[in-house]
Structure 1
Amino acid sequence: MLGSALRPGPGRDTTDVAVIGAGLAGLAAAHHLTASGLRVTVLEAAGTVGGRMATEEIDGYLLDRGGRLLPSDWPELSRCPGLERLSLRPFSGVLVHSGDRALRITPPRAQRAPRGPRAGGGRTGARAAASALAGARRPLSGTLDLARLRAQLARLAATPSERLRTRPELPAAQALAARGLPARTVEGLLRPLLGALLCDPDLTTSSRVGDLVLRGFARGGLCLPAGGAAAVPGLLAAGLPQGTVRTGVRAVSVSTNAVVTHGHGTVRCRAVLIATGAHDAAELLPGLRVPDFHPVTVLHHAVDERAPTAGPQLLIDADRRGPVAYTMVASAVDPSRARPGRALVTSVVLGSAAGLPAGELDRAARAQLAVLYGAPTGRWNLLAAHHDARAVPAMPAPHDPGRPVRVLDGLYVCGDHRDTSGPDGALRSARRAADAIRRDFGIGPLTREDGGPLSAVA
Structure 2
Amino acid sequence: MHDVIVIGAGLAGLRCAGLLAEDGLDVVVLEAADAVGGRQRTDIVDGFRLDRGFQVLNPAYPALRRSVDLDALALGSFPVGVRVRTERGMAELRHPLRHPLSIVASLRSGLVNGTDAVALARWAAPALVHPISRLAQNDVTLSEGWDAAGLRGPLRTAVLEPFLAGVLAERRGETSNAFARRLIRYFALGRPGLPAQGIAAVPEQLAAHARAAGADIRLGARVERTSALGSGMQVELADGDPVSAARVVVAVGPDAVADLTGLPAPATNGLQTWWFAAAEPPTRSALLAVDGRGRGPIVNTVVMTNTVPSYAPAGRHLIAATCLLPRGGAPADENDVRRHLSEIWNADVTAWELVRRDDIVDALPAQPAPLGAPRSPRSADRLYVAGDHRDTASIQGALASGERAARAILTDAGAPGSAGSLRR
Structure 1 stretch displaced more, 170-179 or 144-153: 144-153
| CA apart distance, 1:270 | 1.4
Secondary structure of the structure 2 residue equivalent to 1:16: strand
Matches within 5 A, 1:63-82: 63-80=50-67
Q: Show the counterpart of 2:256.
A: 280
Structure 1 stretch displaced more, 164-173 or 388-397: 164-173
Partners of 2:84 and 2:92 in 1: CA distance: 6
Partner AA of 2:237 in structure 1: T
- Contact 1:205-1:395 at 8 Å conserved across structures: yes
Matches within 5 A, 1:20-35: 20-35=7-22
| CA apart distance, 1:267 | 1.4
Q: Quick one: structure 1 residues 158 and 379, their matched pair in 2 at CA, closer, same or farther if it must change by over 3 Å?
A: same
Q: Show the counterpart of 2:246.
A: 270
Q: Quick one: structure 1 residues 327 and 160, their matched pair in 2 at CA, closer, same or farther if it must change by over 3 Å?
A: same
Q: Quick one: structure 1 residues 63 and 152, their matched pair in 2 at CA, closer, same or farther if it must change by over 3 Å?
A: farther
Partner AA of 1:215 in structure 2: R
Q: Show the counterpart of 2:269.
A: 294
1:412 and 2:384 matched: yes
Partner AA of 1:193 in structure 2: F
Partner AA of 1:274 in structure 2: V
Deviations 1:335-380 (A, max 9, x none): 11011111100111014399545xx622111111112222210100
- Contact 2:12-2:398 at 8 Å conserved across structures: yes
Partner AA of 2:409 in structure 1: I
Secondary structure of the structure 2 residue equivalent to 1:312: coil
Q: Show the counterpart of 1:317.
A: 291
Partners of 1:105 and 1:354 in 2: CA distance: 35
Partners of 2:35 and 2:389 in 1: CA distance: 21
- Contact 1:169-1:208 at 8 Å conserved across structures: yes
Deviations 1:35-62 (A, max 9, x none): 2111210000111111111111111100
| CA apart distance, 1:225 | 2.8
Q: TM-score, normalised by structure 2?
A: 0.88
- Contact 1:107-1:153 at 8 Å conserved across structures: no
Structure 1 stretch displaced more, 71-80 or 93-102: 93-102
- Equivalent in 301, 305, 310 of residue 336 of structure 1: 310
1:17 and 2:4 matched: yes
Q: Quick one: structure 1 residues 83 and 182, their matched pair in 2 at CA, closer, same or farther if it must change by over 3 Å?
A: closer
| CA apart distance, 1:403 | 1.0
Q: Show the counterpart of 2:356.
A: 384
- Equivalent in 289, 292, 303 of residue 278 of structure 2: 303
Q: Show the counterpart of 2:234.
A: 258
- Contact 2:75-2:196 at 8 Å conserved across structures: yes
Deviations 1:244-267 (A, max 9, x none): 110011112213422121222121
Secondary structure of the structure 1 residue equivalent to 2:255: helix
Partners of 1:163 and 1:263 in 2: CA distance: 44
Q: Give the root-mean-square deviation of aligned CA atoms.
A: 2.7
Partner AA of 1:393 in structure 2: P
Structure 1 stretch displaced more, 77-86 or 364-373: 77-86
Q: Show the counterpart of 1:5.
A: none
Secondary structure of the structure 2 residue equivalent to 1:412: strand
Partner AA of 1:86 in structure 2: L
- Contact 2:386-2:402 at 8 Å conserved across structures: yes
Q: Show the counterpart of 2:125.
A: 155
Q: Quick one: structure 1 residues 380 and 149, their matched pair in 2 at CA, closer, same or farther if it must change by over 3 Å?
A: farther
Q: Show the counterpart of 1:395.
A: 367
- Contact 1:302-1:380 at 8 Å conserved across structures: yes
Q: Quick one: structure 1 residues 222 and 279, their matched pair in 2 at CA, closer, same or farther if it must change by over 3 Å?
A: same
- Contact 1:156-1:218 at 8 Å conserved across structures: no
Q: Show the counterpart of 1:118.
A: none
Q: Show the counterpart of 1:436.
A: 408
Q: Show the counterpart of 2:319.
A: 345
Secondary structure of the structure 2 residue equivalent to 1:30: helix
Partners of 1:259 and 1:416 in 2: CA distance: 23
Deviations 1:106-137 (A, max 9, x none): 3356x2xxxxxxxxxxxxx479x69xx9xxxx
Matches within 5 A, 1:11-410: 14-80=1-67, 85-92=72-79, 93-107=81-95, 111=98, 125=99, 139-140=109-110, 142=112, 144=114, 147-148=117-118, 151-152=121-122, 155-156=125-126, 158-162=128-132, 164-241=134-211, 244-255=216-227, 256-286=232-262, 288-305=263-280, 307-352=281-326, 356=330, 361-410=333-382
- Contact 2:158-2:291 at 8 Å conserved across structures: no
Secondary structure of the structure 1 residue equivalent to 2:301: strand
Q: TM-score, normalised by structure 1?
A: 0.82
Gaps of 5+ in 2: 419-424
Structure 1 stretch displaced more, 159-168 or 85-94: 159-168
| CA apart distance, 1:148 | 3.8
Aligned residues: 409
Secondary structure of the structure 2 residue equivalent to 1:257: strand
Secondary structure of the structure 1 residue equivalent to 2:73: coil
> How many percent identity over aligned positions?
34
Partner AA of 1:296 in structure 2: L
Q: Quick one: structure 1 residues 103 and 349, their matched pair in 2 at CA, closer, same or farther if it must change by over 3 Å?
A: same
Q: Quick one: structure 1 residues 149 and 323, their matched pair in 2 at CA, closer, same or farther if it must change by over 3 Å?
A: same
Partners of 2:260 and 2:187 in 1: CA distance: 36
- Contact 1:252-1:260 at 8 Å conserved across structures: yes
- Contact 2:68-2:202 at 8 Å conserved across structures: no
Deviations 1:317-341 (A, max 9, x none): 1223211100111111111101111
- Contact 1:31-1:82 at 8 Å conserved across structures: no
Secondary structure of the structure 1 residue equivalent to 2:245: strand
Gaps of 5+ in 1: 1-13, 112-124, 447-458
Partners of 2:403 and 2:173 in 1: CA distance: 28
After TM superposition, the runs of 4+ consecutive aligned structure 1 residues lying more than 4 A away are 81-84
Partners of 1:251 and 1:217 in 2: CA distance: 37
